[in-house]
Structure 1
Amino acid sequence: MLQSDTYRNNFIPLGDSGGEELMTSICTEPKFSIGQRCILVQTPQGNVLWDCITYLDPSTIEFIKSKGGLKAICISHPHYYTTHLEWALVFDCPVYIAEEDSEWLSRADSEKRRKFVDDESEEIVEGVSAIKTGGHFSGSLVLHCSLGGRKKLLIADSFVTTPSALYHIDRLPGTTSFAFMWAVPNMIPLPPAELVKMWHAIRPFEFESTHGAFVGQEVRDKNVKGRVLESMKIQTRAMGWHDHALLEQSWP
């Protein structure tokens, strides 16, 4: 586990209404590794930590416990496995991970904290469900929740939030809100066959906002689900496909 007086974790509310007052970004400064955040999701049935960061210090433990502790941790994909066993031990809770990605685990789970998501979706606590999209990794997950009467999708980088997603008013046709990547740093996109599987995974779920892997990646739009599909189609056409099942999909 990272231990240093150099680092500290920041706690940043995602918003002050619409359920976002129940969501808090936790991220380490100065930036450590790729600088992803985890998100504390508060619900009456118990709190869920979405994804994980390396640094866990007394201030972070005190903050989370002041909000009611953790009922569960759910991790989107192996890039964010990091110190999840230490977090699970401190908060005495299980960690949900996709069964397909278990090959990437490198440490023994002596306390049996890990729970593997086998099905296409699994309810973590009431009103909060992990959805298996695959793509970025075979078992990549997103998290669907209803907070304050608003439905939200926490996407990590299973769906990569693009700059144009955050500045979408009057944007030019053909610009995307999301990218769908096998390797983000090397910019290797996923093929349409994977995109259509990802679309079918999330299609049954409604949501009005997405929340990405890094602080500030909030996309708020009642049509954000349509923007996910639009982005998939733009990526498909850009790769030279003009006759594919994905292009026939529609929403609503």
Structure 2
Amino acid sequence: MTCFLCLQCGVQFAATETPPEHCPICEDERQYVRWDGQAWIRPQELAEGHRLVMKDDAGVLAFGIEPRFAIGQRALLAQTPHGNVLWDCISMVADEAVAEINRRGGLTAIAISHCHYYSVLACWSKAFGGVPIYLHADDRRWIMRPHKAIVSWEGGTLARNSSLKLIRCGGHFAGGQVLHWKRDGGNALLSGDILQVTPTRRHVSFMYSYPNQIPLNATAVCRIAAALESFQFNHVYGAWWSQNVIGDAKAALGTSVARYLAAIG
């Protein structure tokens, strides 16, 4: 029995003797199946040709995979005096990453913006003693490897401690969530691509599907803006290396929403 990984999106599936026939995440209109057809990889095969890397990304410890695998996102460690949370996930766990996180106080939880980054969430939880994994209930259908550590929370916000709060924004996915982080050096929003940091690194944007270039409708964008209106933040950390808005991020969000709505008419 193997928990196979989809080669296109990097999400791990429940254990089976043979690879699944389909990946519902890739068959959804927001993603796509490989041009060569659906394919799978075992975790040990991934480890043979790739490695986990750790580095500082604008003051936050981040984790990625080299060479690039699947969608290519990186994970972030939100460190607080009240406990640490791993934000988003990647498709590998490595001893050195676990050791470094434990050196910094370990984990109290994992939270993931949306299903494209669920990856090997169960493996990350197990590496830290089975810490809870917070996913919004509106995205429950996209869980490909059910696990007892998963907490499907409901509603608009969920505080993990006095420094960290999950905010359900919707948009890209119905249960799309971001993490608000109160911290020294300026509050931050960890956004995945619910808010997509643009290459200017002074704006964000919004899409229903990024690879298939389907824009998000005005109602959904306004709902995201409303969900974040009461929160103050100086920085936004996006889904990929160095794609962060550092400084004046709340104002950048307002400007970005206005120009997006103007562009789609």
Q: Structure 2 residue aligned with 1:61, among 70, 88, 98?
A: 98
Look up the match of 1:75: 112
The yes-or-no answer on 1:210 pairing with 2:236 is yes
Unaligned runs of 5+ in 1: 169-176, 241-252
Matching of residue 99 in structure 1 with residue 137 in structure 2: yes
Query: How big is each residue's C-alpha offset from its partner over 1:73-107, in whole Å with a ceiling of 9 and x where there is no partner?
Result: 00000101111011111112100000000011122
Q: Does 1:137 align with 2:180?
A: no
Deviation of 1:221 (Å): 1.9
Q: Which runs of 4+ in 1 moved over 4 A?
A: none
- Following the alignment from structure 1 to structure 2, what is the Cα–Cα distance between the partners of residues 37 and 217? 11
Task: Work out the CA distance in 1 between the residues paired with 2:127 and 2:57.
Answer: 25
Structure 2 residue ranges without an equivalent (≥5): 1-41
Please point out which of 205, 211, 215 is paired with 1:179.
Answer: 205
> What's the counterpart of residue 8 of structure 1?
51
Partner of 1:236: 261
Inter-partner Cα distance in structure 2 for 1:61 and 1:129: 23
Distance 2:56 2:66 in 1: 16
Q: Which amino acid aligns with 2:73?
A: Q
Percent identical among aligned pairs is 33
Residue 63 of structure 2 corresponds to residue 26 of structure 1: yes
Residue in 2 aligned with 1:36? 73
TM-score, normalised on structure 2? 0.80
Find the aligned partners of 2:98 and 2:48 in 1 and give their Cα distance.
16
Task: Give per-residue Cα distances to partners, 1:224-252, cap 9 Å, x unaligned.
Answer: 21221221121111112xxxxxxxxxxxx
Q: CA RMSD in A?
A: 1.3
Report the TM-score, using the length of structure 1 for normalisation: 0.84
Q: Does the 8 Å CA contact 1:2/1:56 hold for their aligned counterparts? A: no
Deviation of 1:46 (Å): 0.9
Whole-angstrom CA distance in 1 between matches of 2:152 and 2:132 = 10
Corresponding residue SS for 2:225 = helix
